[in-house]
Every structure is written in C-alpha cells, then in structure tokens.
Amino acid sequence: MRCKLWFLQLVLVSGLPLCAVAQQMCPPRPTDGAAIANPLDLYSQNGVLTLNLALLSQIGPTGFTHYCYVYVNNGNPVEAPTLRVNPGDRLVLNFTNNITVTGRPPKSRHAPMQPMAMGDMDAAAAQNNPCLGGMVTATTTNIHFHGLNVAPICHQDEVVKTIIPNNGQPFQYSIPIPANDPPGLYWYHPHPHGFSAPQVLGGASGALIIGGTNSLTQGLTERILIFRRNVDAVTDDDGQFTVNFETANYPRHPLPVINMTAGQQEFWRVLNASTNGFLALQLLAPAAQQLLVISVDGIPLTTPTNMTTIYLPPAGRAEFIVPALAVGTPSHLFTEGFDTGPIGDPMPATSLANIVVGPGKYDEVHTARAVPPPTEAPRFSGLASVTPNTTRALYFSELNVGTNGPGQFFITVPGQKQKLFDPKNGPAITTKVGSVEDWTISNQTGEPHAFHIHQVHFLVTAINGVSVTNPYMADTITVPYWIGTGPYPNVTVRMDFRDPNIAGSFVYHCHILDHEDGGMMATIVVQP
Amino acid sequence: MPLALAAMCSAAGPAAQGDKAQTPSSISVVVNEDTGFPTPNALSFYQAAGTQITYQSSVYTGGFGIQGGFFGTSRLNSVPSLSAPCLYVSDAGSNDIASISLSTQQAVGTFTGSQTDDGSSNGISLAVNTSYLYASFTASNTIGTFAVQSGCGLSFLGDVSAIGLQGGSVSGMAVNGKMLVVAYGDGSIQSFSVTGGMPVSNNDLQNSTGYTAPNQNWFAGPSMPSGVDITQDGRFAIFGDISATSTVEVSSLTTGKLATTLAYSLTSVEGTGVDAGAVRLSPDESLLYIANSESGTVTAAFFNATTGKIMRGCMSKTLQGFNFRPWLGSVVTRDTTGTGSVLYVAEFGRDYLEINHGPATAIGILTVTSNGKTCTLTEASTSPVQLFYPGALSIGVYPPRPF
C-alpha cells in the first residue's frame, strides 16, 4: 500500500512511476573491476532541460551512509545523471529531499556536527518556505551548481538560506544558463553547511556540462570520469577513491577498467568530486603520456597545453585529449600522490584504473552531440588586462584540539577576528558590482586548502608572489601548505564582480568539505 | 636487571623487562607510543642526567593505542607518591588501562571498565590520586573510576556520564584528593567531587570565558580548554586553551565549584604560540609551562599561587625539526623541586610511510631559567631525541611531581 501511495505521488511529481524510489533505495553501484561507463546523459530540448531528481540515503554494508541523486529513466532509477545544457538554456530541476537515514559519520577533525540555524527561523517555520532558511540538520539539504556563474538567489544557486527539508515536498530549481557562460564541465552537489561532507562523501554529486564547439574535440569519444571518495570499513578512513562509483583501491579491490579503442584519441572530462582528495593524474602507457588540456574548471584555456601530470584539488575539473594508444599497450590511469603536508590526509600514489587498449568499439561511452555556436562572447574575456580597483588578503588557519579532532577551521580577512562560519557573522567582505579585485589567499596551516568561491570564476595570476606564465580561469585552487617556518604560501587571483547578475550574498570557502563544515567559510556581499 | 642490560636486551624493540631497582637519584622519563593495531602499544623508559636522556627499555602495555587523539589528554600517569611506584597507561584502541610497575619495569596487567567504555575516537585520559584512577573515554563520553590497589592493580568501580555543553568529550582532566576537573575540548569545563571515590557532578558545567568572550581585544577567536592542572592546595584549576594565541584560563575552586574563568593571552616578546594544549605547573608553582601544540613552542608564564594570577613570561623558539613533527603533546619537568630545571615535551610524529613526511616522534628537551621576573626557555643541544614509533603525545617523569 505504501508503494501505491508513493507511486501516485511520484507520478504526480515526476510523471514517471517507480516503486524503487518509493522504497528509498539507492540504485546498485557498479561492481569492482567492471568497465567504466559514462553516467546517463540528459540533454536540454528546445532550450530547456527539465528533470526530476531525488536525494535518497541508505545505510551501506559498512555502516556508513550512501547518499544518491536518483533520476528515474524509463522506470529505472539511475544515479547521478549528467545534465547537459547549452548557453542560454534554462535548467529546471524538480528536486525532492528523501533523506531518511543518516548512519555513523566518518571520522572528522572538526567538532561533532550540530544543527545550525540559517536565515529567518520563525519565518521559515511559519511559511514552510525553504527559501527563508531554517535549521540545518543531517536530513536537510540543498544543491550547489558548482562553477555556474548564476545568481545567488533561492531557486538558482543559493546555499545559505536555502534549506530543503526531507518532507517529500518538491523544490524547483530554475536556472537560466547565461548565454555567455563558457562551455565546459561543471557539477552539482549538496551544500548544507555542517553536513556537506557526509552527503558528498556518501556519493551525492553529478556532472553538469555546458555544451560548446571545439574543433580539437569534435568527433572524439567523450568520457566522463568522476572521482569520489568513499569510506573503507576496515580502516574507517575516507581515503578510497572511486571512479564513477567503482572503488579504486588496488590490490584490495580489482581496478576499474577503461576500455579504449586502439589508435583513437579520446576526449576526457574529469571531475574531482571527492570531499578531500587531491589528485595528480597521469596516464601511464607505460611512461607518462602528454595530455592536451583544453579546459580547467569549465573554462577553456587560451592556449591548449600539454601536460603529463594534471593536478586537481577537491572540486577541480580538467578536460583534456588523451593520445591514441596502440593495441595491448600496458596502461594505467594513475595519481602520482600529493604531498598534503605535516597534518593533511595522506594522498599516496596509486593506480586508479586499468586501461585496456583493444581493437574494438565500446558502447559505454560515445561522442558528444554537436551544439550550436554561442551567441555571445564568453564572459571573463580580457580579465587579465583589466586594472583591479581593489586588493584584498585572506588567510586559512586552523585550531586543533587533537590529532583526530575536533578542530576549528577559519578563513579570515587580516585584522578581523577569526570566526567559524555562521550566517549571523555578517559579510567578511563587501564590494560592488563592477569591481575587479586582486585577492591574495595565504595558508597558515600545515596542510593544503582548496579555495573556492561561488558565483564567479577567478583568474589565477600568481603563486607565492611569482606571476603565473599563462594565467588561467578557475573556481577552485590549491593553496599550498606552510612548512612551519618562513613566509606563508599564497596564491593571487583576480576576482571579476562585473556581472550584475551575481549581485547578492554568497560564500567562499575551503573545498575540503570537512573544513567547510568545520567553519572554514565566510560571506561576501556584492552590492548592486 | 641493571638498566644498561635492559637496554641491550631491548635493542630490537619493545620487550618486557626484568627487575630494576629505582634509586632516589635515578630519574626516569617515560613516553607513550600509542601504536595502534596490529602493532602492540608500548611505552619507553629513558634515564635522565642533565639535559641528556638515554634510552633504557620499552615495554608492551598489553593493549593497543590509536596513535593520536587529544593534545590535552594524559595517556600515562602515576600515583603522586613515592610509596606507590605504579605507572598507568591508557590503551585507547583496546579500551583498557595498563598498569606498569616502575620498580620492575614490567607490565602488571590490563584493566577494563564497563562494556560500553570506548576511547577509540580521541583517546583515554587518566587522572590519578593516591586512592583512585579516573579514565575518560572519549567515544562513549564516560569517566570510569578504578580503585588503586596494592601491587599496582586496579579495581573498576563504575562509570559516570561526561559530555560537554556543545557535545564534546573529555580532552583533559586533573584530580586531587577532593575534586576532578575536566575540560571537554568544546569550550566547556566541569568539576566533580571525588571525596567518595566515584565522581559526583558539582553542577558547574559551563563554557569557559575564552570560549564565550570573543569581544576582548586580545582575543583572536574562539578558545577551547584542553589540558588541565590543579594547584597543590586545590584552590585553582588551570586550563590550556586551543586558541590562535597561547591562551590559558584560571578558575578558582575555593567554593567547591569551578568559578568563572579568567583568560590570559600569553603573547610575549618572543611572539605567541598556537594551541596551548597541555599545561603543567612547576613543582614550586612559580611557573606554568604550556605546550603550544600547533606552533611547536613552549611557553612559561609566571603564576601566583596565592592569587591565581598569571603574568607573561617567556617562550621558546620553535623546537628543532618541528615542521616534520607536527603537534606537541604534554610537558613535564625533570626535577621535583623549584622550577623543575629541565622540561621534556612529547613531539607527535607521523607515520614515516607517508610521502615526504620525515622523522617520526621525538622528545624535546628544554632548560629553564627564571629569576621570578624574567625567564628563558632554551632547547638543549641534545634535543630532540627521536623515538622508535610515532604517536607520542604523553610524557611522564618518575619520581613524580608531588601533587
């Protein structure tokens, strides 16, 4: 009977019947050692992509919680589809929070997560309006459309006051994709402060691609690779990478398999959706191959660049062309390991996937559809030549009660008091639409941090005071760790607040999500 | 077994040791290794002379550690009396308390609390008076009480619940004959009466001033008491704070409860430390030593045992090699009189299998000078002394400070 009631509700909400969702089950994830397939693609039609998506949770076999974004495709639940839109389209996402269980959280160095009030509690309760805030708890959620340069308002990309309860009520996101948004790889994930890490660690994330035309990639097989981390039952450690939900933990698990057709280049779009993992990607065949990087964090490089190692912080993306390989070439997708400093989570070198190069064609990937050329010049154009009107500094710092936590994590403007994130703190930075600013973000801790700001990308101009030879756009960047003596490592970026569409209040934070949940986030207000 | 022979026998690693006479002139420095499963937990003995310490022996505790946890937690402690040469070490990975005879340097046995006692998240802190041992279990938020028995045995009496105002677990605690004082590591503190053995709350659970008063002009951010010490006369409890500055707080106990704390930021001419995790009064109570766990420095502050007031003193330079040994644990004095003359501080290490993470755990050694108005803390040329295994956060000296 319960299934029938849910059936009716789902029909009304999604137009599609599905008892599997009604039973609150995440779809099964791929078995270890299987060939890696692209996530299901959902394309916009006539300028609109409309879909129904639910966030479910269930306790996995290790006692930790799986969180899954579920889309119903022809009656079958599918996890974390790729959302494909074009510049100028509208994304309409009818979202339902169906979190029902929250199991044992993974170890974390920040204090036990406590519910936090966001926005106007009384108004939110009285009006039953998720846009007005409420108490953020383990069963509330929202969605951040990471990298999209859209408005920081409810129903678009706002994460502080938008608190969606698990009451079964659909909540609609309706996002106009700017006609000048650069074509590339973006992503979506939960962002309820204090509970982002467990939900993302549980698997709640997916790719969002803004289509575009690039002669370098036209006709190439396109592969979407999403790296996440999951919790290992034996070590109680969230240090196991997964690739499209397949565990990459050799030799305890068979490696995932990437089937490549011999003699053909491929176009790989890679997302590091892990909560804390730093990747140093290499393609070993058997030596490290040259990978032609064409885009970082969704924005095309001015000049495509060959690299043998691609560094991706948590939330980082890279799109690159993989060279053609000969049949039988022993090949691996590999992370070289990343030095996370004296107190960071270790990131040792490890193989992530076994690449099998054969003569055949494989149906788990395909060529992306062609899209019409953009109608406007990409935004951020010419930013490098703009004279900034303001310079600012920020710094990351931490306080640790012990080696295993709880800890306190801060991002602070010098001269201001260190404060754990709280919406009641007010903005740490206030600026105006039209402002172009150079920010230098330093790191006073013994581990790297991943600086991220919502709503805009920034131009990376200098690292440790040394100008970057080829400045590039990004929305997340690693700030190296401090060794305990000498100057604090830092990066300098150029912020572009010229677009009036992004006026409002939004946040910047470390994208190591334990740190963000632990307080390493602050608010900026861009006045109209 | 003579110490020298013990050292030869144990060259290949921890091993149970034979008989050893403890002479009054002999000073043993003991450090926990807190090694986790499958490596047995162990502690190591060093013989102190001047500013040198010489490895003597190691002994398995009989349980497992967790290789980390709270900075303010005392993972090893001894009865504050020469008549009971017993050392107690917590095994947070196996949830037991190991007893070691100092006279024989042999493990006596392991003792467990209730079935629900669990210290696996951030360790088990130990506080001992002449009659009882108190063990705080960080994962179960309980404090177990054990009666100290002859022959270094323990007898479990029962548990009480211990949870901070913000849900934190005990990060540090200290006891005298009447009162057990705890810091929860979430900004709150509490005391218990222990006159009857089992702790009874004094109903004074409260947030510390450092945690609740962010508007003081010296204050850089929230502050959370971590380590605890109590004066010999039991009139003051002193807390070392996790804070962006080297911050300590003092609470009067004269009413039988914790009074509102006074917070002190100890920026000195040498600068400030970060995260004053562990605190330790000098034997004469003229100085308060603070291990700044995250900046790798040690601070000495002048303490007035009559008024409870603290004055700025001095701070060491960053200990040698600290950037490869993140975090300091506890600090103790070599001597049982005066300022203590020499300090030993546990330097936590990292697993050397991790990439680019250099030497493992160590003991830092510093000398103290003080004329009552100014002081110096200077790292000895013999420092640091590298240990065999990572995980040292607690260090002790025998004979112990007499309170």
pLDDT tens for B176-226 read 989 999 999 889 999 999 999 999 999 999 999 988 875 443 445 678 899
SS3 B3: helix
> How is B333-397 classified by DSSP, letter by letter?
ESSSSTT-SEEEEEE----TTSTT-----EEEEEEEEE-SS-EEEEE-TTPPEE-SSS----EEE
Q: Is residue B130 part of a domain?
A: no
The interface predicted TM-score of the complex, written ipTM, equals 0.81
Q: Compute how many other C-beta atoms are within 10 angstroms of the C-beta atom of residue A259.
A: 19
Decide if B122 and A346 are in contact by the 8 Å CB cutoff: no
Which candidate, A385, A502, A384, places its Cα nearest to that of A434? A502
What does the block give as tokens for B238?
């002193």
The count of structural domains within chain B is 1
User: What is the arithmetic mean of pLDDT over A461-476?
Assistant: 96
Find the closest chain A residue to B391 by CA distance.
A403
Q: What is the predicted pLDDT for the residue at A108? A: 58
Q: Is residue B235 part of a domain?
A: yes
B216 touches chain A (CB under 8 A): no
Of A160, A184, A210, which residue constitutes the final position of a domain? A210
For residue A347, which residues of chain B lie inside 8 Å, CB to CB?
355
Q: Where are the beta strands (DSSP E) in A27-132?
A: 41-43, 48-59, 65-73, 76-79, 82-85, 90-98, 116-119
Q: Are residues A355 and A416 in the same domain?
A: no
> What are the residues of chain A with a beta carbon less than 8 Å away from any beta carbon of chain B?
107, 111-112, 114, 337, 339, 342-343, 346-349, 397-406, 408, 410, 417-420, 446, 483-485
Q: What is the predicted pLDDT for the residue at B10? A: 33
Q: Are residues A350 and A229 in the same domain?
A: yes
Ramachandran area for residue A432 (φ above 0: left; ψ -120 to 50: alpha; else beta): beta
For residue B292, which residues of chain A lie inside 8 Å, CB to CB?
none
Residue with tokens 């059936």: A7
Q: Compute how many other C-beta atoms are within 10 angstroms of the C-beta atom of residue A237.
A: 14
B358 touches chain A (CB under 8 A): no
Q: Is residue A476 part of a domain?
A: yes
Q: What is the predicted pLDDT for the residue at B244? A: 80
For residue B324, which residues of chain A lie inside 8 Å, CB to CB?
342
| Residue B66: pLDDT over 50 | yes
Residue B324's φ and ψ, nearest 5 degrees, are: -95, -5
| Residue B18: pLDDT over 50 | no
How many whole angstroms separate alpha carbon B123 and alpha carbon B109? 19
Residue with tokens 């930075």: A429
For residue B326, which residues of chain A lie inside 8 Å, CB to CB?
342-343, 446
User: What is the arithmetic mean of pLDDT over B2-19?
Assistant: 32
On whether the CB atoms of residues A400 and B293 are closer than 8 A, the answer is yes
Residue A9's φ and ψ, nearest 5 degrees, are: -60, -40
B192 touches chain A (CB under 8 A): no
List, for residues B304-316, the tens digit of each pLDDT value: 999 999 999 999 9
Q: Are residues A232 and A142 in the same domain?
A: no
| Confidence category of residue A24, pLDDT binned at 50, 70, 90 | low
Residue A38's φ and ψ, nearest 5 degrees, are: -70, 150
Q: What is the predicted pLDDT for the residue at A21? A: 43
| Residue B9: pLDDT over 50 | no
Q: Is residue B227 part of a domain?
A: yes
Residue of B325, B356, B361 for testing the chain A interface, max A β-carbons within 10 Å: B356
Q: Are residues A10 and A113 in the same domain?
A: yes
Residues of chain B numbered 134-163 and touching chain A (CB < 8 Å): none
Q: Is residue B209 part of a domain?
A: yes
SS3 A113: coil
| Residue B8: pLDDT over 90 | no
On whether the CB atoms of residues A26 and A79 are closer than 8 A, the answer is yes
| Residue A128: pLDDT over 90 | no
User: What is the arithmetic mean of pLDDT over A500-519?
Assistant: 95
**Cβ-based neighbours of B21, under 8 Å, separated by 6 or more:** B103
Among the ranges given (A258-272, A489-503, B74-88, B342-356), the one the predictor scored with the smallest mean pLDDT: B342-356
Mean pLDDT of chain A: 88
| Confidence category of residue A376, pLDDT binned at 50, 70, 90 | confident
| Residue A233: pLDDT over 60 | no
| Residue B67: pLDDT over 60 | yes
Q: Are residues A298 and A411 in the same domain?
A: no
Q: What is the predicted pLDDT for the residue at B103? A: 84
Residue of A104, A110, A113, A399 for testing the chain B interface, max B β-carbons within 10 Å: A399
Q: Regarding beta strands B375-379 and B385-386, do their DSSP bridges make them parallel or antiparallel, or are they unpaired?
A: unpaired
Q: Identify the domain containing residue B186 by its residue range.
A: 179-317
Please, what's the b/e burial string for A485-499 (b: 16 or more CB within 10 A of its CB; e: otherwise)? Answer: eeebbbbbbbbbbeb
Q: Is residue A474 part of a domain?
A: yes
Q: Are residues A190 and A250 in the same domain?
A: no
B13 touches chain A (CB under 8 A): no
Q: Give B145→chain A minimum CA distance, Å.
A: 24
**Cβ-based neighbours of A320, under 8 Å, separated by 6 or more:** A267, A268, A270, A291, A292, A293, A294, A295, A307, A310
How many whole angstroms separate alpha carbon A106 and alpha carbon A111? 12
**Cβ-based neighbours of A126, under 8 Å, separated by 6 or more:** none
Residue of A403, A412, A420 for testing the chain B interface, max B β-carbons within 10 Å: A403
Q: Is residue B291 part of a domain?
A: yes
CA–CA distances in Å: residue A171 to residues A102, A154, A262, B239: 21, 10, 46, 48
Q: What is the predicted pLDDT for the residue at A193? A: 94
**Higher model confidence: residue B80 or residue A81?**
A81
Q: Give B85→chain A minimum CA distance, Å.
A: 29
Q: Give A417→chain B minimum CA distance, Å.
A: 5
On whether the CB atoms of residues B60 and B42 are closer than 8 A, the answer is yes
For residue A349, which residues of chain B lie inside 8 Å, CB to CB?
355
Decide if A402 and B185 are in contact by the 8 Å CB cutoff: yes
Task: Quote the DSSP letter at residue A38.
Answer: P
Q: Give A167→chain B minimum CA distance, Å.
A: 27
Q: Is residue A375 part of a domain?
A: no
With a pLDDT cut of 70, the percent of chain A lying above it is 88
Q: What is the predicted pLDDT for the residue at B154? A: 96
Task: Give the N- to C-terminal CA distance of chain A in Å, as an integer.
Answer: 53
> How is B11-63 classified by DSSP, letter by letter?
TTS----------TT--EEEEE--PBTTSPPEEEEEEEETTEEEEEEEEE-SS
Q: Give A518→chain B minimum CA distance, Å.
A: 13
Q: Where are the beta strands (DSSP E) in B102-208?
A: 106-111, 124-128, 132-137, 142-148, 154-161, 172-175, 179-183, 188-193, 200-201, 206-207
User: What is the arithmetic mean of pLDDT over A268-273?
Assistant: 98
| Confidence category of residue A129, pLDDT binned at 50, 70, 90 | confident
Decide if A406 and B186 are in contact by the 8 Å CB cutoff: yes
Q: What is the predicted pLDDT for the residue at A273? A: 98
Q: Are residues A184 and A230 in the same domain?
A: no
Q: Identify which of B71, B220, B323 has the shortest CB distance to residue A402.
A: B71
On whether the CB atoms of residues B371 and B398 are closer than 8 A, the answer is no
Q: Is residue B49 part of a domain?
A: no
Q: Are residues A226 and A137 in the same domain?
A: no
List, for residues A49-104, the tens digit of each pLDDT value: 999 999 999 987 767 788 999 999 999 999 999 999 999 999 999 999 999 877 66
Of A163, A187, A210, which residue constitutes the final position of a domain? A210
Q: Identify the domain containing residue A11 by its residue range.
A: 2-210
Which candidate, B397, B323, B320, places its Cα nearest to that of B366? B320
Q: Are residues A325 and A354 in the same domain?
A: yes
On whether the CB atoms of residues A110 and A409 are closer than 8 A, the answer is yes
User: What is the arithmetic mean of pLDDT over A388-410?
Assistant: 89
Residues of chain B numbered 325-354 and touching chain A (CB < 8 Å): 325-327, 348, 350-351, 354
B293 touches chain A (CB under 8 A): yes
| Residue A23: pLDDT over 60 | no
Helices (H) and strands (E) in chain B, counts: 2, 30
Decide if A410 and B221 are in contact by the 8 Å CB cutoff: yes
Q: Are residues A53 and A116 in the same domain?
A: yes
Q: What is the predicted pLDDT for the residue at A395? A: 96
Residues of chain B numbered 236-265 and touching chain A (CB < 8 Å): 242-244
**Higher model confidence: residue B49 or residue A376?**
B49
For residue A402, which residues of chain B lie inside 8 Å, CB to CB?
68-73, 122-123, 171, 185, 226
For residue A108, which residues of chain B lie inside 8 Å, CB to CB?
none
List, for residues B362-375, the tens digit of each pLDDT value: 999 999 999 999 99
Decide if B294 and A114 are in contact by the 8 Å CB cutoff: no
User: What is the arithmetic mean of pLDDT over A360-369?
Assistant: 75
On whether the CB atoms of residues B88 and B133 are closer than 8 A, the answer is yes
The count of structural domains within chain A is 3
Q: Regarding beta strands B200-201 and B188-193, do their DSSP bridges make them parallel or antiparallel, or are they unpaired?
A: antiparallel
How many whole angstroms separate alpha carbon A271 and alpha carbon A314? 9
Decide if A399 and B242 are in contact by the 8 Å CB cutoff: yes
Q: Are residues A354 and A391 in the same domain?
A: no
What does the block give as tokens for A157?
């990309």
For residue A112, which residues of chain B lie inside 8 Å, CB to CB?
167-168
CATH number for the domain that contains residue B268: 2.130.10.10
On whether the CB atoms of residues A452 and A509 are closer than 8 A, the answer is yes
SS3 A196: helix
How many whole angstroms separate alpha carbon A11 and alpha carbon A22? 11
User: What is the arithmetic mean of pLDDT over B37-51?
Assistant: 90
Q: Identify which of A346, A403, A417 has the shortest CB distance to residue B69.
A: A403
List, for residues B101-141, the tens digit of each pLDDT value: 988 889 999 999 999 999 998 999 999 999 999 999 999 99
Of A184, A210, A236, which residue constitutes the final position of a domain? A210
> How is A57-74 classified by DSSP, letter by letter?
EEE-TTSSEEEEEEEEET
Q: What is the predicted pLDDT for the residue at A71? A: 97
**Higher model confidence: residue A122 or residue A269?**
A269
| Residue B5: pLDDT over 80 | no
How many whole angstroms separate alpha carbon B187 and alpha carbon B165? 8
B73 touches chain A (CB under 8 A): yes
Decide if A111 and B121 are in contact by the 8 Å CB cutoff: no
For residue B357, which residues of chain A lie inside 8 Å, CB to CB?
342, 346
**Cβ-based neighbours of B328, under 8 Å, separated by 6 or more:** B71, B277, B278, B291, B292, B293, B296, B298, B319, B345, B346, B347, B348, B364
| Residue A114: pLDDT over 80 | no
Q: Give B20→chain A minimum CA distance, Å.
A: 35
Q: Are residues A205 and A57 in the same domain?
A: yes
Decide if B168 and A417 are in contact by the 8 Å CB cutoff: no
**Higher model confidence: residue A373 or residue B150?**
B150
CATH number for the domain that contains residue A71: 2.60.40.420
